[in-house]
Amino acid sequence: MEISWENIDELEDYQITYLLYKESLNVNQIAKVRNLSPQDIADHLIKIQVEKREEDRKKDTLELYLTLNKEERLEYLEQLDSDELTYFKRKILRLIHIEKDIRKLMILAWTAGEMRDTEFLDFLEGLVNHENEDMKKVANTAIKKIKNKSKESNKSEKDKKLEENKPINLNEKNFDNNTEKDDELQSFLGLDKNKRLDFLDRLKPEKMIYFKRKVYKRILTEYNTDDLIVLIWTTGELKDENFLKILHNLTEHRNSDVRRITYSAIRKIGSPKSREVLELGLLDSNPQTRQYCAKALLKVGNRHSLNILRNLYRARQGVEKDYVLRAYREAIIELEKSV
> Does residue 167 belong to any structural domain of this protein?
no
> Does residue 9 sit in the same domain as residue 143?
no
> Does residue 191 belong to any structural domain of this protein?
yes
> Does residue 190 sit in the same domain as residue 303?
yes
- Is 310 within 8 Å of 332 (Cβ atoms)? yes
Distance CA 269, CA 152 (A): 46
CATH of the domain at 328: 1.25.10.10
> Does residue 198 sit in the same domain as residue 104?
no
> Does residue 170 belong to any structural domain of this protein?
no
Q: What is the DSSP string of 73-102?
A: HHHHHHH--HHHHHHHHHHHHHHHTT---H
Domain ends where: 106, 137, 162? Answer: 162
> Does residue 200 sit in the same domain as residue 268?
yes
> Does residue 93 belong to any structural domain of this protein?
yes
> Does residue 38 belong to any structural domain of this protein?
yes
> Does residue 121 sit in the same domain as residue 226?
no
> Does residue 116 sit in the same domain as residue 192?
no
> Does residue 171 belong to any structural domain of this protein?
no
> Does residue 100 sit in the same domain as residue 115?
yes
Phi, psi of 216 (to 5 degrees): -60, -50
> Does residue 173 belong to any structural domain of this protein?
no
Show the domain range for 27: 5-58
The pLDDT, as a whole number, for residue 163 is: 46
- Is 234 within 8 Å of 199 (Cβ atoms)? no
Contacts of residue 7, defined as CB under 8 A and 6 or more positions apart, other chains included, come to: 1
The pLDDT, as a whole number, for residue 86 is: 83
Distance of CA 30 to the CA centre of its chain: 31
300 HSE (CA, 13 A, CB side): 19
Handedness of CA 242, 248, 253, 256 (dihedral sign): positive
One-letter amino acid at 37 equals S
Give me the residues of the chain with pLDDT under 50, please.
58, 156-158, 160-180
Inter-helix orientation angle 256-269/287-300, to 10°: 20
Angle at 254 between CA 252 and CA 255, to 5 degrees: 110
pTM of the model: 0.52
> Does residue 328 sit in the same domain as residue 198?
yes
Distance CA 308, CA 321 (A): 17
CATH of the domain at 16: 1.10.10
> Does residue 49 sit in the same domain as residue 75?
no
Handedness of CA 91, 93, 98, 103 (dihedral sign): positive
The pLDDT, as a whole number, for residue 231 is: 96
- Is 118 within 8 Å of 106 (Cβ atoms)? no
**pLDDT tens digits, one per residue of 92-112:** 888 887 888 899 999 999 999
**Nearest alpha carbon to residue 312 among 293, 334, 299, 296:** 293
The pLDDT, as a whole number, for residue 153 is: 58
The pLDDT, as a whole number, for residue 168 is: 33
**pLDDT tens digits, one per residue of 45-67:** 888 877 766 565 545 577 778 88
- Is 306 within 8 Å of 325 (Cβ atoms)? no
Contacts of residue 47, defined as CB under 8 A and 6 or more positions apart, other chains included, come to: 14
Distance CA 234, CA 170 (A): 31
**How many domains does one find in the chain?**
3
- Is 111 within 8 Å of 92 (Cβ atoms)? yes
Domain ends where: 15, 38, 58? Answer: 58
> Does residue 295 sit in the same domain as residue 309?
yes
Domain ends where: 162, 194, 228? Answer: 162
- Is 251 within 8 Å of 280 (Cβ atoms)? yes
> Does residue 204 belong to any structural domain of this protein?
yes
The pLDDT, as a whole number, for residue 56 is: 57
> Does residue 284 sit in the same domain as residue 142?
no
> Does residue 97 sit in the same domain as residue 225?
no
